[in-house]
Amino acid sequence: MECSSKMAYDLGIDAGGTYTDSVLIRKSDGKVVCSNKALTTYPDPIEGIKKSIDGLDPEKIKLVTVVSVSTTLATNTILEGTGYPVGLILIGNYDVPEDSGIENWIMVKGGHDSNGEEVAALDLPAVEKFVLEIKDRVSAFAVSSYFSVRNPEHELRVKTLIQELTGLPVVCGHELAQSLGAYERGVTAYLNAQLLPVAEGFLKTIVTEIERRGLNPRIAMLRCDGSVVSMQEAMKKPIESVFSGPAASLLGASYLSGHETCTVIDVGGTSTDVSLVHKGLPDLSEAGAVVGGWQTKVRALRMETSAMGGDSHIWVQSGNIHIGPRRVIPLCRAAVLYPDFMNTLKKRWIPDRLKLDEHIQATKFFVRTEQKPVNLNREEKELLALIRDEPRSLKDVYWDKSILPPKRVMDSLIQKRLVQVIGFTPTDALHVLGEYTEWNVEASEIGATLLANFIGIDRDEFCLNVKRLFARNMARDLIAFLMEGVDRKEIEKMLDGNFFARFKVDIPVVLLGGPVRAYVDELKKLIDAEVFAPEHSEVGNAVGALAGKGTKRIEITVRTLYSESKYDLKTKGIFVYTPVGRRHFIIRSEAVEFAEEFGRKLILDYMAESGLLPDQVTVNVQKKDIKVHAGEIPIETRFIFEGVANSNVYEKALSGQRKKDDGFTDLNRQVHSLGCNSCGEFSISENYE
């Protein structure tokens, strides 16, 4: 289709774990006009991004005005433990776990109580000594003070001192979360500080690639709560991009299906995620995201995740079929990646049926990666020396040798990314059934035949059983998510039993992922629901990167304080706790009025920075009074303010704001100015969640 000069397009990019997807959406009608997938490249994602965009219509790319990105980069960095070194300062009395995994930290005297009153003087000399000792071996600092959400004074004083001593970025706990939990806020600040250079590098990569193409768009990024933020905001708070991939899939599914309320099953290469969007907004968890075992205060999607994806390892034992939990390279793809692999596969090594386990399989192969080995023990060195740059079966690796290392040794090499595994997967099963044939079908057929022989069935029946098992697990995850709190074993009994009844789901179930259409009919046999995979479901995450709304959420508390004596309950005053500090009032009605007006002002001020006018924003307010006895004056009133950009307005605002920039070079300069040496110097008035 030809493009006129008046047309404009939005570019969505999702840099996932396996694929980097790009999609162009026409602004005039919101239609997806073209899309492309390319393999994600590590550790530098630029090549994957280039190839993904290169597959789009070059004439339409010239008319792009908005670029929005989602990525697994922050999540993977935390999971892999590859964040930059950070110094953590905890102010107050904390109970730090012995296995916290935090390096370069100190706990000093100071902090406040729940009313925002100082409980101990801040020990600045101890902070100064610690900072000077480690400043040359860290890239940033994180600070968390006891009850800083009620009074951030101590965090701010430490921040100022560190900046004067080092000039390095400083992240404070109250800037990222307003909920109680000082240690978790400290963890959140610590992880955010680790990610600052990572986020800067990634966004610079995006900017450089867009600039190379001669474009002048506004660049935004999707957060894990489903909202989009400007590039500058994303660089300040990269921790908020963890799980932005699942958020993108949720919003993309809603956009492509046309349903503002639906459940979404997103099938990736490694895992399957189930989530919910209600009236256009993601269902969020109040507990905070858990990433790589770290409990944070980042509000993210409520999500059910299982270690089951299109590339999960299919293995057999005792006549049963198992899925995962590890991800492997599918046989069909390995045959394309490694030219001699088909010859290795055709040798048809048949292991002893009694010795079968996850590693001892007729269809499992091992190959070395380019990762450099570090700190290996003797057993690991011996085993790694037997693995080559071309795939080898377990028999070829060491069964004809004098050593037989324990399973844990191979597990360790795989975990350290020194060894990559190849095996039969659900993707291979679909290749055999002819429902997805992107790679080498013959490799999948050989693998299916080998495994089917151990089960005692033919090749096609084996693959149908794999497909049914995969659909059953999808149904189990869906019901477990919707029926939160119900024992999963009871759900499995219902799914496994031959009953005259099925689970009923009252809202649409939208499937996302490469070959998910293959599972629609199987899923309908297990649950009574409208189940479908919309057009462009294979690039739903890239669509979702553009479908996020501009939102902002803040909390303000009004609390009445009394004298400590139980015989003299005189009011000491009314305090309003806001994201920028606390304020004292004598009259409660004035405090409540101030809280309501100030909360709305903070929301609208934030939205104005994204180019939105007050009439383009809907501000929703939740108010909860806490009383000792019914009818009494509340001792505390909590306000939750949520601002939501009106439909399609935020995208227009992002596009319109590029007029304020002095060309794309200025945008690149903005990225540079927000680099590691100044990330900590943003206004406190912006730092609320």
Question: What's the confidence (pLDDT) of residue 191?
Answer: 86
C-beta atoms surrounding 494 within 10 Å: 15
C-beta atoms surrounding 638 within 10 Å: 17
Chain position carrying tokens 């399609």: 648
pTM of the model: 0.71
End-to-end CA distance of the chain, in Å?
A: 43
Distance of alpha carbon 178 from alpha carbon 174, whole angstroms: 6
Strand partners, 622: 640
Question: What's the confidence (pLDDT) of residue 96?
Answer: 79
Contacts of 335 (CB under 8 A, 6+ apart): 341, 342, 345, 439, 440, 442, 443
Contacts of 448 (CB under 8 A, 6+ apart): 424, 428, 429, 432, 459, 460, 462, 463
Q: Virtual CA dihedral for 152, 676, 551, 224, nearest 10 degrees?
A: -100
Q: Virtual CA dihedral for 527, 531, 537, 542, nearest 10 degrees?
A: -80
Domain 82-184 adopts which CATH fold?
Rossmann fold (3.40.50)
Q: What number of CA atoms fall less than 13 Å from residue 560's CA on the CB side?
A: 20
How is residue 291 written in tokens?
Answer: 């990433």
Distance of alpha carbon 451 from alpha carbon 429, whole angstroms: 11
C-beta atoms surrounding 631 within 10 Å: 5
Question: What's the confidence (pLDDT) of residue 52?
Answer: 93
Question: What are the residue ranges spanned by the domains of the chain?
Answer: 82-184, 312-464, 550-651
Q: What number of CA atoms fall less than 13 Å from residue 176's CA on the CB side?
A: 37
Beta strands 281-282 and 284-285: pairing type?
unpaired
Closest by CA to 475, choosing from 495, 496, 499, is 495
Question: What's the confidence (pLDDT) of residue 353?
Answer: 75
Distance of alpha carbon 618 from alpha carbon 642, whole angstroms: 8
Question: What's the confidence (pLDDT) of residue 487?
Answer: 81
Q: What number of CA atoms fall less than 13 Å from residue 47's CA on the CB side?
A: 6
- Helix runs in 527-659, H state only: 540-547, 588-609, 649-657
Q: List, for the chain, all residue ranges whose pLDDT scores fall below the cut of 50.
A: 1-5, 566, 649-689
Distance of alpha carbon 170 from alpha carbon 141, whole angstroms: 5
Question: What's the confidence (pLDDT) of residue 309?
Answer: 82
Rg (CA), the chain: 27
Question: What's the confidence (pLDDT) of residue 53?
Answer: 93
List of E strands, 131-173 = 140-145, 170-172
